[in-house]
A and B are shown apart, each in its own frame.
Chain A
Amino acid sequence: MRILIVEDSEILRRNISRSLRHAGYAVDVAEDGEAGLASAQLNAYDALVLDVMLPKLDGLSLLRRLRGAGAATHVLLLTARDTVADRVAGLRHGADDYLVKPFAMEELLARIESLCRRAYGAKSPAIEIGPLAIDLSARTISREGREVSLTAREWRLLEYLALRRGEVVPRAEIEAHIYDDLVEPMSNVVDTAVYALRRKIGAGLIKTRRGLGYVMEGD
């Protein structure tokens, strides 16, 4: 999953992105509202973590513009404002969730995970595809009861395809959701990653649709 963090505090920005990357997310950052809006319009993110008090363009204005342009990206507002009026204003501007500073990182991670699941209509963190049992919360995968160990990038790829199982996902989309701005993706990196994942979870679960992309199915 690819997450955008828009937060002007360098300390928060750095540590939240570090924690999310450790949890297996691809993370992009922006330090002000204008940069955040530009990134959100340019890339397809699974969720936005958006501070309200931002320089240049405040978080609520950014959100209003995103929603006005038809973007359905899930947004979690991160702010020091904790009154009912503030929460109501944030939610009415189009936010999907609201977290007050200071917060527990564990809670932030859980809320982002929930938003990402919702992005693909998944209510439950547990997914079964053929012989695979995938737990999105625990970030574990087992095949016929045997646990399979994946790298962070392999997990991101599996998670993304599993949430969109049955759909043909274009290569470019996979690339956009798996890699963050820190990595300069090469043209066949997605193919390489799919190849490596197939070797671990077994052939036949990720099918290639030539010229279109990949689809994950249990049949």
Chain B
Amino acid sequence: MRLVISCVLLFGAAGGALYWHVTRDLGAEFDGSLRATGSSLLALIEQDDNRVRLTPSPGSMPQFEQKQGPEVFELLGEDGREIARSRSLGTATLPVAAGLYNVTLPDGRIVRCANLPYTVTDEDEEAHTAGAQPNPKVVLIVGRDRLPLDATFASIRSSMMVVGAGALAMLVLLIPLGVRAGLEPVKQFGVQVSMVNAGSLATRFPVVTLPAELHPIVAGLNALLARLEAAFERQRRFTATAAHEFRTPLAELKTVAEVSLAVPASEAERTQAWRDILSVTTRMQSLATCLLQLTRTENGAASLKIETIPLLQMLREAWGPFEKGAAERGIELVAEVPPGVAFQTDAALLRVILGNLCGNAASHAATGSPFTVAACENGSAVEVRFRNKAADIAEGDVEHLFERFWRKDAARHDNRHHGLGLSISAEIAKVLGGSLLARMTAEREIEFLLTLPTRPD
């Protein structure tokens, strides 16, 4: 509808402009011709014995001679006194106005008039001797019936309106049909898109069947579906894996409860049952906390609180809880961190990364081996390398280190090792604008490289 209205308005404006141009040009031509006629009349003005006369020869200008003829004239002296008039004017007089103007005569004719002032010159040179009278000035009003011109205008007007109306009618019929036909593939496309749901994210739309203008949209939509499919698949795997991780602690709780109810127990056995329940629920709480932390970090829900953090101090704080246990295994922290190295970042999140890396080293480094942490500034970032001898990690395990729930010993069940620490640390590093990578060195050491900007973006 808007398109139709727009076309109507456009057609109307174009038609009006065309009509205006045509009538203007025709009118100008009419006026030019009128002036030329007036000039011809002026050429016939002569002065004789100080009398100005306009006497066309009979038959030379028939348009002025017939009664109510198509052209009229009136010659007036400087004092306004009529000098001559055309027979076609009859008894009417032409008003005097400047330039070109329209006059309605008593008989109803509408006449276009031209006011032509003229100074009569005497052809006899002797009249210009000293003492002669100045040349008289006259005003010639010449007019022409506008009826043919106006009829032409009307004809043009009606023709344009008929043709325009016909064209508009065709447009009103054809535009919706054309638009409907052109949009049919888009409509089909819309139906297909509306049928996409969480279970059909593998759908991809063929580009070639749609108009070229829609290709970028379809390509973008296909890319969006690919991202959604990957995200849903990640979520599905995560949910399945998380549910799997809860099965064993749930089985433990259920077994403890059922056996406690069915089998008579001594006081010591009852106490052990409660200890078992506490141990399992503590592990489940730890797992749930890790999962929530991972989800929040991924979704960027963690709002960053930026402060200046000296790395060496935070590293020592992170190592603190593990120091005693590590010392029993002969594992010692060797910090090669210049005192001036600091980050402007979120302290709580950085603490999580350092805690996970320190905990991993304390638990998994080879007995009696050092845990070395070295930091150096590299432009606007700081690179921190965490290195320890790999007790039971092989080269092929490195690519799995950041996978969720991956553990080298897949069956280990304890309160800390859920296989999520490195995954969480890597996500946090991304949130802080950096990265966490791992590699095996030639000396069979596992090295984690944490790169963080010294300032947030």
A residues whose Cβ falls under 8 Å from a Cβ of B: 8-9, 11-12, 14-16, 18-19, 22, 32, 51, 53-55, 58, 80-82, 100-106
Contact = CB atoms under 8 A, between A and B. Distances in A.
A55 B412 contact: yes
Contact of B262 (A14, A19, A100): A19
A14 B271 CA distance: 14
B259 A101 contact: no
B80 to A, nearest CB: 117
B259 A80 contact: no
Interface of B: 244, 247-248, 250-256, 258-259, 262-264, 269, 272-273, 276, 279-280, 409-413
A102 B247 contact: yes
Contacts of A101: 247-248, 250-251
Contact of B255 (A12, A51, A82): A12
A9 B263 contact: no
Contacts of A58: 410-411
A11 B279 contact: yes
Contacts of A55: 409, 411-412
Task: Tell which of B244, B247, B255, B409 has the most Cβ of chain A within 10 Å.
Answer: B255
Given A80-B244, A80-B247, A101-B247, A15 B255 contact: yes
5 contacts: A15-B256, A19-B263, A22-B264, A81-B244, A103-B251
Interface centre among B247, B279, B410 (most CB of A within 10 A): B247
Contacts of B272: 14
B interface, over-half SS: helix
Contacts of B255: 11-12, 15-16, 19, 102, 105
B280 A15 contact: no
Given A14-B276, A105-B259, 20 more contacts: A8-B413, A9-B413, A11-B252, A11-B279, A11-B280, A12-B248, A12-B255, A15-B273, A19-B255, A19-B259, A22-B262, A32-B411, A80-B248, A80-B251, A101-B248, A102-B247, A102-B253, A102-B254, A103-B251, A104-B254
Contacts of A103: 251, 254
Nearest to B260: A15
B410 A12 contact: no
Contacts of B248: 9, 12, 80, 101
B276 A15 contact: yes
A54 B248 CA distance: 12
| Of A14, A51, A55, most B-chain CB atoms within 10 Å | A14
A152 B279 CA distance: 32
A99 to B, nearest CB: 10
A51 B256 CA distance: 17
B404 to A, nearest CB: 16
Nearest to A51: B411
Nearest to B261: A105
Nearest to B256: A15
Contacts of A105: 254-255, 258-259, 262
B251 A12 contact: yes
Contacts of B258: 19, 104-106
A62 to B, nearest CB: 12
B261 to A, nearest CB: 9
